[in-house]
Structures are given as C-alpha cells and as structure tokens.
Amino acid sequence: MSYAAPVKDMLFVMKELADLERIAALPGFEDANLDTAQAVLDEAAKFNGEVLAPLNFEGDKNPSAWRDGEVTTTPGFKDAFRQFSDGGWQGVMHPVEYEGQGLPKLIATPCIEMLNAANMSFALCPLLTDGAIEALLTAGTDAQKQLYVPKLISGEWTGTMNLTEPQAGSDLAQVRTRAEPQGDGSYKLFGTKIFITYGEHDLAKNIVHLVLARTPDAPEGVKGISLFLVPKFNVNADGSLGDRNDVQCVSIEHKLGIKASPTAVLQYGDHGGAAGYLIGEENRGLEYMFIMMNAARFAVGMQGIAVADRAYQKAVAYAKERVQSRPADGSAKQPVTIIHHPDVRRMLATMRTLTEGARSLAYVAAAHSDLARHLPDEKARASHQAIYEFLVPIVKGWSTEMSIDVASLGVQMHGGMGYIEETGAAQYYRDARILTIYEGTTAIQANDLIGRKTMRDGGATAQALLAQIDQTIAALAEREGQPFASMHRHLSAGSLSLARTIEFVVAKVKSDPNAVFAGSVPYLKLAGIVLSGWQMARALLAASDKRAEDESFYSAKIATAQFFAEHVLSMAPGIEASIVSASGDQGILALREDQF
C-alpha cells in the first residue's frame, strides 16, 4: 500500500506545459528556480511516502472517534501532523512575512497532490487551514493577520470553513446562524453548522473556525451573510490561549469514506453565545468565502488527481504481480502476470491517461494563478486571472468525476480481491466518492462555469482558450506518425464540439435556461476532456521533441497522449450531441414530477 510520488512526471508537466521557468522569473519568486522545485518535490515525496502514506489504510480501519464532545484522531496522526508542521509543509505557498515559504502555487500544487495521494483524510486538515489563511489574508485586519496567520502556518492551530446548515446546503441564502454585536466590536454567535471537516480534533492546540452568519439587521438572502472568526479557545492579545469558547462538537458523521477525517456537527452558542470576530465588512461574507472556496475547490480537484494516481499505482503493482490465464495472442503457454492481458492494459492505460490529463490541466491552471498574482502588467494579470477562474470549476469538477471512474477501475483491476477491504483498493473507491460533492457538487461547479465563467464575459475567455487550442492543432498537423494523426483528428473534433457547445450556451442561456442547465454537467465534462486533451497534445509535442534524451520516459508520454486521444477525446462529439440535442431540454424536462 505504498505511494511513490511521480516526481519526474510532475516536473515534466511543470517544465514543459506550465512553463515553470517563466513562473520562476516572476517578481517575488526569485528563489523558485528549477532546482528549488526539484528539491521541494523530492523532499515532499520522501515525507509523504514515508510518514503519511502508511497511515492511510490505518485511518480507514481506525477512524476518528467522538466522545463527550472531543474527537480522537487515528493513532499516528498526531505525530504525523507534528512532523508535517515542523517540515513547514503548511506554509509552502503562503507569504514569507507570516512565516510561509512564499513559493509559487505551481510548486505548491504537486506538494498538495502528494499529500492527498499519501493520505486524503489527513490532508483535509491542512486543506481547510489553507482556506482559512487565504480568507484572513484577503479580508482580515492587520491585527487579525498577525494574531492568527503565523500560528495557522506553523501548525500550532488549524482552520475550518463553516458554511452548511441542515437547511442550507448548496443554497447559502438559507443560512440562519445569528451573530449578535456586543458593542465592543465582538459578536456572539448562535446556530448549528454541519459537515464541518476537522471541526473538532486533537491534532493542534486551537481551531480557528471561519463561520458564515447573519447580523440582526442583515438583508435576506446571500447579501446578508457575514464572515466571522470563532476560535475554539479564545485568544488573548499576546496570542496565548484563554477560555474555552461556546462552540461544541455534538457528533461526527459515519461516512462512506475519508473516515479518518472527522466531519463535525458544531453547535454555537448553547451556553450564552460563542465569541466571534467579524472578518472584513458586514454582509460581504459570501464574497470572502468564495475566495477561500475557489482555493479549496482547486485543492479538491487535486484530491481527485491524487486519489486517482494512488489507485493507479496500486493497480499497476497488482497487475505486475498477479498471475492468471494465458495471453490471448498465444504468446505463452503458461499463465502470465495479468498486465499482459489486453483488457488489463486498457484499464491501466485509462487510469493513467485520465490522471495525467487532469494533472496537466491543473498544473497549467496553477501557473495562470501565479501569473495573475505576480505579473507586473495589470492587464496581463487580469487575463490570466480570468483563465484561472474559468479553469477552477473544470479542475474541480472534471478531476473529481474522473477520479471516481479511475478508483472504480482500480477495484475492477483486482478482480475479487478488489472487493475485500483488506486489499485497500476499495478504500480509494469510497474515499473518492465525496470529491464530486463537497466544496460544491459537480452541478454547482457547472453552474459556476456557465454563469460566472462563460456568460459574464460573453464567452470571451472560453474563446481565447479555443484559439490557443487551434494553435496546438496547427502544430500537430505539421508532424508525422500515428500519435500525431490520432491526436490531430480527435482534438480537432473535440475542440469543434466544445466550440459549438459554448456557442449554444451563450446563445440560449437567457432564452431557454432549462435547456442550457440540463446540459451543464455534460458541458463541464466536455470542457474537462477537451482541455485535458489539449494538454496531452502539448505533452505529445514536447515529448516527441525530447524523445532521444530519454527514450523510455518520453515514448511513454507519447503513447499515453495517443491513448487519451483515441479513448477519451473520442467521446467529445457524443457529449456535444447530448447537450445540443435537437429537442433542447424537452428530453429531460418532458417527464413531469409525478411521472418519476
């Protein structure tokens, strides 16, 4: 059940597709050269492989447990968290002035992938802490930043995001938690929050809850939501801990997977009110929450890639070891390891190409985020920011949807053994299943892709990406050989399908919103397939140029890209047909409620 981070693959994507060299030349990233990247990734691979990966199965067998309001994490987690913190891993991409390492998101991203591949349940704690840090850096006062951020980065404390309530899932307009001003600048909070990841645990001395709530005179709906900081233990001005605050963990959930990660029900204010502090301005809470949510959504996309890679590695190991049946082509008279069977090869190649495609797109997105934050030119920054924001719902939605399929293939690859929990393949199938749900379901991502990301600029960002794809298609046309021919054929067809779908979305969303939103998730998947396929095409071009330098490595990249073209990109026209069907939404909405 080991995990070996694919550092070489990661560096290939960073250098050849995400232009690490350019990122490293940005102002503020003077120390982030190729050597730094290599060193950080090697160190991360070592730590995650040796310390966290072995605890993953243990966390599934021996999950977090609740008793009398307190949560005990899996044996070994506490020590691992101390090592994680001491290693400075929480701070990789956070500012140096708050004790972070200030590295580009492009370097932090493979670290996040490794962390999640090694141990997704563990990784959720830092993931949420990242979100809290991001929100404080965006909207907190200087005093709040000074008081909280360094301790979150050092791992002394951890952070949470408190959005969901029993009646308010995806629809935050329904949030009812109350925040009453106390006259001294502080508030008292009252309400129930559910599904709070690491809402209670024993890994750190304090927990900094970021909580959506309403002040007494707030307007209805999402425009009346504010963001509050509620520490588990009150914090004195010097940063030392005071009394226990009035927030209690009343239970944790019994879940399908990520069992080591405690999912808490938190009760605020049952004993007079939980002391809370406004972050930023009143009624702008949703806006701040979206900042941390965008970061978290990207990170959840990385979780998909991570669990897919872990499932792939496990499947490969089994396929190379399990002996069963003679080969179909009669090339051996005795049973062979199953990796020699064509269907096993197809499953492994599918797992591999989906994972590499999603990884490539995500790392490229991370580079856009770095460019958007660090390029000197404002207009260039805005353009990269628009691309990054366009890609976030796709990275989140597509990487997680494919991760379920990949983890499922991982079970299938093991035959009957895959269904036995001791084998470990089933854990990835269970763990992956949350990823298309939390931090916004795939439908929510798809609505974001249509509404904020495609429509708001009239499709301009989408068109800009399509124009870049055309350049890649032109480059493919100049090369010879089957991999290029296959990729040219399927990327051309795929990008045409995506272009026509975007046209349909832009043209119809006002006049026939049901027709458009009925195809929202297929549109997201189509975009995921075509944009990942585009990155695989770029990888194909790069690998072909370098082939002589490292035949085995680059020929594998070429074969994996060709496989993506023929087996994944080839599905694009069918998805287009299902979105832009002759009948619009009638096929979906023709059935009345009572007919279901």
- Positions 384 through 423 that interact with a second copy (CB under 8 A): 404, 408, 411-412, 415-416, 418-422
The reply to whether 482 sits near a second copy by the rule CB under 8 A is: yes
Q: How far apart are CA 104 and CA 98, in angstroms?
A: 16
Q: Which of 27, 185, 330, 376 binds a second copy (CB under 8 A)?
A: 330
Alpha-carbon torsion 248, 250, 255, 260, what sign? positive
Residues with a known catalytic role:
439
Binding region for a second copy (CB under 8 A) out of 24-32, 45-53, 98-106, 548-556: 548-556
Q: Shortest distance, CB of residue 274 to a second copy, whole angstroms?
A: 23
In the numeric block, the tokens 């982030």 are attached to 32
The reply to whether 8 sits near a second copy by the rule CB under 8 A is: no
Q: Shortest distance, CB of residue 234 to a second copy, whole angstroms?
A: 30
* Nearer residue to a second copy within complex by CB, 332 or 380: 332
* Nearer residue to a second copy within complex by CB, 109 or 562: 562
The reply to whether 329 sits near a second copy by the rule CB under 8 A is: yes
Q: Shortest distance, CB of residue 481 to a second copy, whole angstroms?
A: 10
Q: How far apart are CA 366 and CA 353, in angstroms?
A: 20
Q: Shortest distance, CB of residue 95 to a second copy, whole angstroms?
A: 33
* Nearer residue to a second copy within complex by CB, 101 or 560: 560
Binding region for a second copy (CB under 8 A) out of 180-188, 238-246, 275-283, 556-564: 556-564
179 to 208: interface string for a second copy, x by CB under 8 A? ---------------xx-------------
In the numeric block, the tokens 């101390």 are attached to 82
Q: Which of 69, 242, 335, 458 binds a second copy (CB under 8 A)?
A: 335
On whether the CB atoms of residues 452 and 461 are closer than 8 A, the answer is no
The reply to whether 591 sits near a second copy by the rule CB under 8 A is: yes
Q: Within 437-476, which residues bind a second copy (CB under 8 A)?
A: 437-438, 441-443, 446-447
DSSP codes of every residue in 271-310: TS-EEEEEESSTT-HHHHHHHHHHHHHHHHHHHHHHHHHH
| End-to-end Cα, the chain, rounded Å | 44
Binding region for a second copy (CB under 8 A) out of 101-109, 275-283, 356-364, 509-517: 509-517
Q: Which of 169, 202, 475, 508 binds a second copy (CB under 8 A)?
A: 169
Parallel/antiparallel/unpaired status of strands 274-279 and 226-231: antiparallel
Q: Within 21-80, which residues bind a second copy (CB under 8 A)?
A: none
Cα→Cα distances 263→73, 125, 189, 249, Å: 12, 11, 20, 10
The reply to whether 556 sits near a second copy by the rule CB under 8 A is: yes
Q: Shortest distance, CB of residue 254 to a second copy, whole angstroms?
A: 5
* Nearer residue to a second copy within complex by CB, 7 or 588: 588
* Nearer residue to a second copy within complex by CB, 422 or 549: 422
Paired with 274 in beta bridges are 189
Beta-carbon contacts of residue 520 (< 8 Å; ≥ 6 apart): 443, 446, 447, 449, 450
Q: Which of 342, 382, 456, 458 binds a second copy (CB under 8 A)?
A: 342
* Nearer residue to a second copy within complex by CB, 202 or 585: 585
Torsion of CA 484, 490, 492, 498, to 10 degrees: -150
Q: Which of 125, 521, 531, 541 binds a second copy (CB under 8 A)?
A: 521
Q: Residue 160, by phi and psi: left (phi above 0), alpha (psi -120 to 50) or beta?
A: beta
Q: Which of 94, 297, 341, 525 binds a second copy (CB under 8 A)?
A: 341
The reply to whether 291 sits near a second copy by the rule CB under 8 A is: no
Rg of the chain taking only CA atoms, in angstroms: 24
Q: How far apart are CA 422 and CA 3, in angstroms?
A: 17
297 to 316: interface string for a second copy, x by CB under 8 A? -------------------x
Query: Closest by alpha carbon to 203, among 237, 178, 232, 183?
Result: 232
Q: Within 239-258, which residues bind a second copy (CB under 8 A)?
A: 253-257
Structure tokens at 5: 């981070």
On whether the CB atoms of residues 432 and 257 are closer than 8 A, the answer is yes
In the numeric block, the tokens 């989408």 are attached to 462
On whether the CB atoms of residues 247 and 274 are closer than 8 A, the answer is yes
The reply to whether 581 sits near a second copy by the rule CB under 8 A is: yes
Q: Shortest distance, CB of residue 378 to a second copy, whole angstroms?
A: 34
Q: How many residues of this chain bind a second copy (CB under 8 A)?
A: 106
In the numeric block, the tokens 């939501």 are attached to 225
* Nearer residue to a second copy within complex by CB, 383 or 408: 408
In the numeric block, the tokens 């956070």 are attached to 94
Binding region for a second copy (CB under 8 A) out of 32-40, 275-283, 347-355, 370-378: 347-355
DSSP codes of every residue in 429-483: HHHHTTTTTTTS-HHHHHHHIIIIIIITTTTHHHHHHHHHHHHHHHHHHT--SHH
The reply to whether 485 sits near a second copy by the rule CB under 8 A is: yes
Q: Shortest distance, CB of residue 316 to a second copy, whole angstroms?
A: 5
How many CB atoms sit inside 10 A of residue 277's CB? 20
Beta-carbon contacts of residue 71 (< 8 Å; ≥ 6 apart): 64, 65, 200, 201, 202, 249, 252, 262, 264
The reply to whether 594 sits near a second copy by the rule CB under 8 A is: yes
* Nearer residue to a second copy within complex by CB, 67 or 254: 254
In the numeric block, the tokens 């879940």 are attached to 255
Q: Shortest distance, CB of residue 346 to a second copy, whole angstroms?
A: 5
Q: Shortest distance, CB of residue 242 to a second copy, whole angstroms?
A: 33
The reply to whether 506 sits near a second copy by the rule CB under 8 A is: no
